[in-house]
Amino acid sequence: MAITVVGSVAYDSIETPAGRRERCLGGAATYFSLSASFFTGVRVIAVVGEDFGPEQEAVFKARYIDTRGIERAPGKSFFWEGSYLENLNEAKTRTTELNVFASFEPKIPEAYRDSDFLFLANIDPVLQKQVRDAMPGVKLVAGDTMNYWIKDHRAALERVLKGLDILLINDTEARMIAGNNNLVQAARAVMALGPRFLVIKHGEYGATLFHGAASKNGERTFKAPALPLEEVVDPTGAGDSFAGGFFGYLASQAELTPGAFRRAMFYGSVMGSFACERFGTERLEQLSRGEIDARFQAFRELTHLD
Amino acid sequence: MAITVVGSVAYDSIETPAGRRERCLGGAATYFSLSASFFTGVRVIAVVGEDFGPEQEAVFKARYIDTRGIERAPGKSFFWEGSYLENLNEAKTRTTELNVFASFEPKIPEAYRDSDFLFLANIDPVLQKQVRDAMPGVKLVAGDTMNYWIKDHRAALERVLKGLDILLINDTEARMIAGNNNLVQAARAVMALGPRFLVIKHGEYGATLFHGAASKNGERTFKAPALPLEEVVDPTGAGDSFAGGFFGYLASQAELTPGAFRRAMFYGSVMGSFACERFGTERLEQLSRGEIDARFQAFRELTHLD
């Protein structure tokens, strides 16, 4: 079933120990869509500037992603510049230029309205809420957020969390939302704000799915590994690619069984690991479903007793 | 098959967010033996002072641990005082009194000489080497070390590593030995110094077994989870308990197959998780094999797709 995603389509300048890239195609909605497109149909809602040309459009088209909801506005696209030179696990932002994003008003194409799955990528929670309210018919809503919204836009964020089925965040964000360093207690506090499912991503240590009441003995959790990557070339977009693999796989399933959620966690980790292997979206653009399934099997090998 | 372990039997004063305990029974060899004793016969080599009485002896005896190699010396037992108030993942040492350990010369009882498995717990690498050389007939040797020996006793440590089949250390120690922050590259560098198997413990994120040449795609690794513990009461001895579960399980197996190593990693994580649940050795003293196997199954649930 089709996923509609709202979020940023942007240009990124990235510096990592492996090198530097200027103004490559980026943005949460871009990584999410490319990743999810290996599992299901994806429809994007975003805004870009006049610098977004046929070359960028072609990256989406090559993966059969519906771009009718990508609005063209006068001015420049969202631009982000970040460095991972000090810490591969956390970007240091050098520049953020909102540009056309500053006045973004999400418009939902008529053709998107029958989407059963909705992903609210990391943007202003006020916009996330708008899109969520405008699509009351969706069956499953997942979302992401970041430290900036957690710190300074708490009330708006809480309104979004109330309407989410699934929240995907990292360790630091979970601890920030909950104001609690113990990850299990933090998970419970976050879920009390709305989401029935919570995915906490631990970077190179994989990710944990919390569902139902997190219990002391961990019966209501599931862990997916991350590959011990020898050379992380560029971690940009790894979290959005995880979300794309996870939610894309769920959307491809006839039934949302506990087994489907487990496999979705593995596919999330698989897609996150591919995203890191080259700069920007390079690896996702060159990926095949065969490679994805081979890595899924490698993950099974890595974690299963027999 | 029986394991001989050499290491510290000590008293610990411990402060954690859950409270404080004065002079409880501790030491790497203590945690290791209690943990391994649920899987196989264990024989301890250590030295204690006049403050080690029948009550402490009884803790070992209750688990059928051979204490003939625990030498009584004039003076006081090794004493350690540490706090986890700032960071539950890393103890801040307040006091270390070597006492009788300062002049420890390991003596191996005749009855221990037919041991097939040898564990060199975290003590001076010069002593580890002595014991290893004095038991040339053992089939499998595993060991542990810590930042202090890595930093200031490098040459002696490297002589020990040459004679090890298995090294168990944590993330920080692996990175320190290798001088490399990338864990896969660090693992390869550590294994080049001797051990064919390397277990790197990631605290609340579980542990990874590296074997053979670590490869980019992770085929030669295996990951065991840690339970998302809601309340870590006291992490003291978690690493030694992991080692006891891991090596104890291996020693209980007729053949050291890859499957045995995988299950050993799970049993290691299981025993480490129990050790954290109460202060000192309290939880290990009150444990049953039934509880251990139930948690093993919970770990399978936590990580397996079906």
pLDDT of res. A139: 96
User: A interface mutation test: which of B175, B200, B230 has the most A CBs within 10 A?
Assistant: B230
And the tokens for B130?
């002595």
Q: What is the mean pLDDT of residues A39-45?
A: 98
Residue B143's pLDDT band (boundaries 50, 70, 90)?
very high
Is A267's Cβ below 8 Å from some Cβ in B? no
Interface confidence, given as ipTM, is 0.90
Residue B213's pLDDT band (boundaries 50, 70, 90)?
low
- Minimal C-alpha gap between B203 and chain A (Å): 11
pLDDT of res. B231: 72
Check A231 against B205: CB less than 8 A apart. no
| Segment 172-201 of chain A within 8 Å of chain B by CB | 182-185, 187
- Minimal C-alpha gap between B31 and chain A (Å): 22
pLDDT of res. A213: 56
pLDDT in tens, B262-277: 999 999 999 999 999 9
pLDDT in tens, B20-71: 999 999 999 999 999 999 999 999 999 999 999 999 999 999 999 999 999 9
Q: Is the pLDDT of residue B218 over 60?
A: no
Residue B249's pLDDT band (boundaries 50, 70, 90)?
very high
Contact, B240 vs B198, CB < 8 A?
no
H-type helices in chain B, by residue range? 28-36, 54-61, 125-134, 147-152, 154-162, 171-178, 183-191, 238-251, 258-275, 282-285, 289-303
Check B183 against A202: CB less than 8 A apart. no
Give dist(CA A244, CA B249) in Å, integer.
40
Q: Which residues of A touch B231 (CB under 8 A)?
A: 182, 216
Q: Is the pLDDT of residue B86 over 90?
A: no
Check A225 against B222: CB less than 8 A apart. no
pLDDT in tens, A204-234: 899 999 997 544 544 589 999 987 767 789 9
Q: Which residues of A touch B230 (CB under 8 A)?
A: 182, 184-185, 214, 216
% of chain A exceeding 70 in pLDDT: 97
- Which amino acid, one-letter code, is at A225? P
pLDDT of res. B214: 47
Is B293's Cβ below 8 Å from some Cβ in A? no
Q: What is the mean pLDDT of residues B107-119?
A: 96
pLDDT of res. A90: 82
pLDDT of res. A37: 98
With CA atoms as reference, the chain B residue closest to A261 would be B305
- Minimal C-alpha gap between B10 and chain A (Å): 30
pLDDT in tens, A177-196: 999 988 989 999 999 999 99
Q: What is the pLDDT of chain A when averaged over all its residues?
A: 94
Pairing of strands B117-120, A140-143: unpaired
C-alpha atoms less than 13 angstroms from C-alpha of A306 in its C-beta half-sphere: 4
pLDDT in tens, A99-149: 999 999 999 999 999 999 999 999 999 999 999 999 999 999 999 999 999
Check A216 against B231: CB less than 8 A apart. yes
Q: What is the mean pLDDT of residues A31-56?
A: 97
Q: Which of A208-212, B7-11, B99-103 has the lowest mean pLDDT?
A: A208-212
Q: Which helix H or strand E contains B118, and what residues bound it?
A: strand B117-120
Query: Quick check: pTM over 0.90?
Result: yes
Give dist(CA A201, CA A196) in Å, integer.
16
pLDDT in tens, B151-188: 999 999 999 999 999 999 999 999 999 999 889 899 99
